[in-house]
Chains A and B, each alone.
Chain A
Amino acid sequence: MNATRRTTLAGIAALAVAPFGAHATPETMRAAIAAVASGRPMREGKVTLDIQPLVDNGNTVPMRVEIDSRMEGADRVRAIHVFNERNPQPHVLSVAFGPQAGRASLSTRIKLGDTQKVVAVAEMEDGTLWTAGVDVIVTIAACIEGIE
């Protein structure tokens, strides 16, 4: 688990220094992804990023990310990182998988402040990186009601 944890924490530390202003942009997202990749090439494939293409309320958007892997040897997935283009910050979450993980998959719910692209990057045991992106249209953005 040590390698895994180091991977994730290095990723998060890199995100903390990634430059972002009031809102993430496609550029800040690219910078955040580059920080995780640290020079390694990324290939499209292996990653399934499942988000409904049309969202009725951006506050609760179901998301599932899964990597086609037997979770053994070089094929093991160490971590998955998820990013977005237009929320206030580019980072959505990172998950590191330990030896008891049965699959490289995670389901959760995220907030999307606007119509945008969401990108997942998976880091394999052999250091290779795989990625997938999804375009999501949000009709009612997150956080519009404010405090009542």
Chain B
Amino acid sequence: MKRPARIWAILVVAGFAAAAGAQTATDGRRSGFADMSPALQAIQRDDMSNPAMLWVAEGEAQWNARAGNAGKSCADCHGAGESMRGVAVRYPAFDAKARTVVDLDGRIDRCRNEHQRASSPAPESRPRLAIAAYVAFQSRGMAIAPPTGGSLDAAAIAGEALYRQRLGQLNLSCAQCHDERAGGSLAGVAIPQAHPTGYPLYRSEWQGLGSLQRRIRNCMTGVRAEPYPFGAPELVELEVFLMRRAAGMAWETPAVRP
């Protein structure tokens, strides 16, 4: 696991000089989709060839399967999967019962624990990603519409501070790459604007599906920072900030990325 950090260090040293002259962030926001090769774009455009659809299909099966001590399926309470249309584009949200800000995965997990009385699968495990992908897929094509409110506003402020804070041995902030150098490249790797439009998504590097939290943790490891643990409030705050920064952009789940 030290390998990506090493590779990134090489890329940063070798590539930043060249990227320094590249354009800085403009108001023209673009999804990471736009930075991919036409071949990967074609995979995302065709559901019949998008491997992420394997997880969506598993998620659909889970949606309809009874589980936990309550012996209830998601469908028993929520009806058809389409009832989830519009949900993913307004998460993270404030959960009044838990009195905290939760992301979509965290919200689903609460249903699993409290309503199904089932235990939580490990973060990034197949069942967990599959149901999140199925729920998020229902919102494909919709505009990101982050909710507001006291706790969420506070989370967004905290998230932005984290986004601008220098991290790790490479001493770089998210903003230094994703705002200042977006559109440039690190020795051949395109630096996207870091919009959270497609999660969970199929990343070629992972050869599988992964969450936005995993993606952020990858970037932290890349700058040789200790990544926040899955589910940490810092990661949820970064998610809140990234969603607000992408407000109005089109939802892509399940996307594909290099």
Contacts and interface: CB of A to CB of B under 8 A. Distances in A.
Interface size class of A (residues with CB under 8 A): 10 to 19
B205 interface: yes
Given A62-B42, A62-B43, A144-B4, A57 B258 contact: yes
B39 A52 contact: yes
A60 B3 CA distance: 20
Given A52-B38, A56-B258, A140 B205 contact: yes
Contact of A145 (B4, B38, B43, B190): B4
B36 A56 contact: yes
Contacts of A59: 204-205, 207
Q: Is the interface of A mostly helix, strand, loop or mixed?
A: loop
Interface string A118-148: 0000000000000000000001100011111
Nearest to B210: A148
Given A52-B38, A57-B204, A139 B189 contact: yes
A62 B42 CA distance: 10
A139 B189 CA distance: 8
Given A56-B258, A59-B207, A145-B4, A139 B42 contact: no
Contacts, number: 48
Interface residues of B, number: 20
Interface in B204-227: 204-207, 214
Contact of B188 (A60, A61, A140, A145): A140
Contact of A52 (B3, B4, B37): B37
A57 to B, nearest CB: 4
A55 interface: yes
B40 interface: yes
A57 B32 CA distance: 14
Interface string A95-111: 00000000000000000
B7 interface: yes
A54 interface: yes
Interface string B17-52: 000000000000000000011111011000000000
28 contacts: A52-B38, A52-B39, A54-B37, A55-B39, A56-B36, A56-B40, A56-B204, A57-B40, A57-B204, A57-B258, A59-B205, A60-B40, A60-B43, A60-B204, A61-B39, A62-B42, A139-B189, A140-B188, A140-B205, A144-B3, A144-B7, A144-B205, A145-B3, A145-B4, A146-B3, A147-B1, A148-B1, A148-B214
Given A54-B37, A57-B40, A62-B39, 15 more contacts: A52-B37, A52-B38, A52-B39, A55-B39, A56-B37, A56-B40, A56-B189, A56-B204, A59-B207, A60-B40, A140-B188, A140-B189, A144-B3, A144-B4, A145-B205
